[in-house]
Amino acid sequence: MEDRKNRQGGRPVARAATKYTAFKVKEGAELMEFLMKEMSGISRTRVKALLTNRVVMVDNNIQTQYNFQLKPGMVVKVSREKNKHEFRHKLLDILYEDAYIIVVEKKEGLLSVATERQKERTAQHILSEYVKRQHPGNRIYVVHRLDRETSGIMMYAKDEKTQRTLRDNWHDIVFDRRYVSIVIGDMEKDQGTVRSWLTDRTLYVSSCDYDDGGKLSITHYKTIKRANGYSLVELNLETGRKNQIRVHMQTLGHPVVGDSRYGCEADPLGRLALHAFKLCFYHPVTGEMMQFETPYPAPFKNLMLRK
């Protein structure tokens, strides 16, 4: 038997599958009602505790709402892990974890990876300390990054082989990666695509509309709402370059709110208005379709609702 995987019908299965009890939804019901029926004898208080502790998943997304409406065909998973390794951090939430990957949502202000100047206040370091509590030899491996000022969903690998698989096959494995942003002014188009060549000059990324030796970068955008001198925009990355969205929004003449580096003087939120809200991919080991999505940040919605 291979060290990395178990075999079931010739298909690899993530070892983490044994950490969850799975229930198939056969008829529509609220999550609370469903769990009380399936987990015979469990109290409402205990179910609420499970939801609060973020150990209940619906179709691989953590669910905390007791009245979440389930539909036939959905799969509800409840973690069987004890809380001795419970993870709590004000700048980082774990959305999913198994033997090979860990998916998190980071807050703005937190670096994704360690740098020469900052090694400890990073998502990489925080997660490394967490997995070492489970076993001293455990490590976290970087797959992709988010800017310090950007919040949202990220994925890390838990071993080098999985890291290589994800990095070498990123565009085949990740099939939907979306951001939401508030930009200055009213977007002229309801949707469109920005295509340019980006050159990283360390502190500033420059854009050129022809091949000047930079990296080809493609961003698709859709305008969700225009209000109060701002536009709420959903962005889909075809490539993932450093500062890509921020540079492309500046190129369109609508820099991201709070982004002084790329031409925005307004900072009504006290943060960069950019959030990675969706990440969908095929599991690098099992091939299972994984989909993670978070709501648009509340401050984003509030800014668009102001009179």
DSSP 8-state code for residue 149: T
**Mean pLDDT over residues 202-209, rounded?**
79
Confidence check: pLDDT of 307 > 70: no
Averaged pLDDT of the chain: 86
**CA 28 to CA 200: how far, in whole Å?**
51
Query: Domains in the chain, please, with CATH?
Result: 1-81 (3.10.290.10), 87-168 (3.30.2350.10), 177-275 (3.30.2350.10)
Return the structure tokens found at 100.
């090979």
Residues 77-95 have a mean pLDDT of 75
CA atoms within 13 A on the CB side of 143: 29
H or E segment and range at residue 234: strand 230-237
List, for residues 143-154, the tens digit of each pLDDT value. 999 999 999 999
Q: Where are the alpha helices (DSSP H) in 63-187?
A: 123-134, 160-168, 170-173
* ∠ Cα 193 244 209 (to 5°): 55
Model confidence pLDDT, tens digit, residues 283-303: 998 898 888 889 899 999 999
How does strand 56-58 pair with strand 61-62?
antiparallel
Q: Residue 193 has what pLDDT? A: 96
* C-beta of residue 217 within 8 angstroms of C-beta of residue 198: yes
Q: Tell me the percentage of the chain whose pLDDT exceeds 70.
A: 89
The answer to whether the pTM exceeds 0.75 is no
Q: Does residue 246 surpass a pLDDT of 80? A: yes
Q: What is the pLDDT of residue 134?
A: 73
Integer CA distances (angstroms), 62 to 76, 158, 205, in order: 10, 20, 36
Q: Which of 21, 142, 153, 160 is nearest to 80 (CA)?
A: 21
Which helix (H) or strand (E) segment is 106 a member of? Answer: strand 101-106
Residue keyed to tokens 């800017």: 147
Residues labelled catalytic: 147
Q: Phi and psi dihedrals of 36, rounded to 5?
A: -65, -30
Using CB atoms within 10 Å of the CB of residue 238, give its burial: 0 to 12 exposed, 13 to 18 middle, 19+ buried: middle
Answer whether 127's CB lies under 8 Å from 102's CB: yes
Cβ atoms 143, 104 nearer than 8 A? no
Least confident of 14-18, 151-155, 244-248, 295-299: 14-18
Q: How does DSSP classify residue 59? A: T
Quote the CA–CA distance of 14 and 167 in Å, as a whole number: 19
Residue 13 has pLDDT above 60, yes or no: no
Query: Per-residue confidence at 119, pLDDT binned at 50, 70, 90?
Result: low
Residues counted in the chain = 307
pLDDT value of position 2: 39
pLDDT, position 32:
92
